[in-house]
Amino acid sequence: QVQLVESGGGLVQPGGSLRLSCAASGFSVDYAAIGWFRQAPGKGREGLSCITKRDGATTYADSVKGRFSTARGNARNTVYLQMNNLKPEDTAVYYCAIGPPCDLNPRIDYRAMDYWGKGTLVTVSS
């Protein structure tokens, strides 16, 4: 059974940083990728980043390029999302998901993803 669990969300002031973690279990497909997405109240789900499990290749949405970065953790099937210089408009529920390799989903389309975590809330406010 595939399971994804996000953690690390919380309240942070504008300009601050957070690191989200995604722990995935129940799958061992080396060519898969883990993507990060977010959904703000009243808005659609937005793709933020993608990292291919096999070789660590990454892609980013233009909206977060230069502020957010994703990386594989030392623990197997763990992926992080480092978020810097956070803004109030970054407030959202953040999700990780498993899907095809990043080069097959260059627009980080949430509809291409197969399995999802339940999300972690990030609130950026003073």
Q: What confidence tens digit (pLDDT) does each residue in 78-101 have?
A: 999 999 999 999 999 999 999 999
pLDDT tens, residue by residue, 40-80: 999 999 999 999 988 889 999 999 999 999 998 877 789 99
Burial (Cβ within 10 Å: 0-12, 13-18, ≥19) of residue 69 = middle
pLDDT at 29: 61
The strand pairing partners of 47, in sequence order, are 37
Mean pLDDT of the chain: 93
Could you give the CA distance from residue 65 to residue 115 in angstroms, rounded to a whole number? 24
pLDDT at 31: 59
- Other CB atoms within 10 Å distance of the CB of residue 121: 12
Could you give the CA distance from residue 126 to residue 14 in angstroms, rounded to a whole number? 6
